[in-house]
C-alpha cells in the first residue's frame, strides 16, 4: 500500500515508532483532502481527541 508519492509505508513506520498516539486512516481512490472521507472520519476523530475533557454547562 503506497500513497501518491510511494512513501506511505515509510511515513507509517515513522509514526508507529515515534510513540505518538495516532490513528492513520487510509482511503483508497480518495484525493488529498477528499470531502467524503473527512465527513466520515472527522466525527470519530474529534470524539477521540476530546475524550476525558469535562463538559461545562452553558448558562
Contact 56, 50 (CB under 8 A): no
Contact 27, 37 (CB under 8 A): yes
What is the 8-class DSSP label of residue 56? Answer: P
Alpha-carbon distance 20 to 12, whole Å? 12
pLDDT at 17: 80
Instruction: Kindly state the cell numbers that stand for 19.
Output: 510513540
- pLDDT tens per residue across span 32-44: 778 888 888 888 8
How many CB atoms are closer than 10 A to CB 5?
A: 8
- pLDDT tens per residue across span 2-54: 445 555 667 777 777 877 777 777 777 777 778 888 888 888 888 888 888 88
Taking the model in full, what pTM does it have? Answer: 0.48
Instruction: Kindly state the cell numbers that stand for 48.
Output: 477521540
Amino acid at each position: 500500500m503506497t500513497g501518491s508519492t510511494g512513501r506511505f509505508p515509510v511515513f507509517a513506520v515513522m509514526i508507529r515508532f515515534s510513540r505518538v498516539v495516532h490513528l492513520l486512516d487510509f482511503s483508497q481512490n480518495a484525493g488529498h483532502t477528499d470531502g467524503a472521507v473527512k465527513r466520515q472520519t472527522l466525527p470519530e476523530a474529534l470524539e477521540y481527541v476530546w475524550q476525558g475533557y469535562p463538559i461545562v454547562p452553558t448558562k
